Amino acid sequence: MRLALWQGTSPASDIEAACAQAEVALAAAAAMGAAALVLPEVWLPGYNQPGIPALALPLDSAPLHRLAAAARTHKTALVMGYAERAGDRLYNSAACFGPDGALLCNYRKVQLYGPREAALYTPGDTLHTFRLGTETAAILICYDIEFAPHVSSLAARGTTLILVPTANMAPFTHVPRATVPAMAASHGVTIAYANYCGTEGDLTYVGTSTIAGPHGEILAQAGETPTLLVTDLPPRDLGRLSTQATDLRQL
């Protein structure tokens, strides 16, 4: 399976620009043969925007229909973070549209990060798995991937690929460089971690979007500028996969 990540600057509350940038990245990923493209956290309308309650979108909204149609046009799955409005609640969510434009998953972030997210969003309470090409996939969002029990739970359910829209800011450079590859190796899964770059309000993003393979190898990693990462996922070598899950001694 060939996978792509888009590392870009924040759309800064411009929904039209966000959709247009996603469409360009999706077209480029499709032209390179990618089966799926992952965008950063709260791509619609941008992670660190002051007007998120007013700009939050229901799943059944025109911008999401537009991006589902783009996935169908390019026959390439799309995973993108967005601020979701569901009744009187907001969620930090990510939707996955399949290569036919159908909704494969809508995931709500479980581990909200910091007082800002806690003030805006209701935490999700469910981990989902779904089929994406040859992989059993799941979505986690940013801080979620730093919690080993969530990764372990998904691996125990047969997940082989975890797609992670993120908005990782300075000074937390260790997350893409160390935490993500370690989580991948410890649980025998591929992790695709799509971050922002540049600045947004009082945040400076660290870039470093990363695809880490199931043996902990870094398959592709961006720097600090806008980047389309594309790489082929390797076959899982059963002889090299971690056996921690079966070897753990409960004390």
Q: Indicate which residues carry an active-site annotation.
A: 41, 109, 142
Write the DSSP assignment of the chain as a string of letters.
-EEEEEE----TT-HHHHHHHHHHHHHHHHHTT-SEEE--TTTBT-TT-TTHHHH-B-SSSHHHHHHHHHHHHHT-EEEEEEEEEETTEEEEEEEEE-TTS-EEEEEE-SS--HHHHHHH-PPP-----EEETTEEEEE--GGGGG-HHHHHHHHHTT--EEEEE---BTT-THIIIIIHHHHHHHHT-EEEEE---SEETTEEB----EEE-TTS-EEEE--SS-EEEEEEPPPP-TTTS--HHHHPPP-
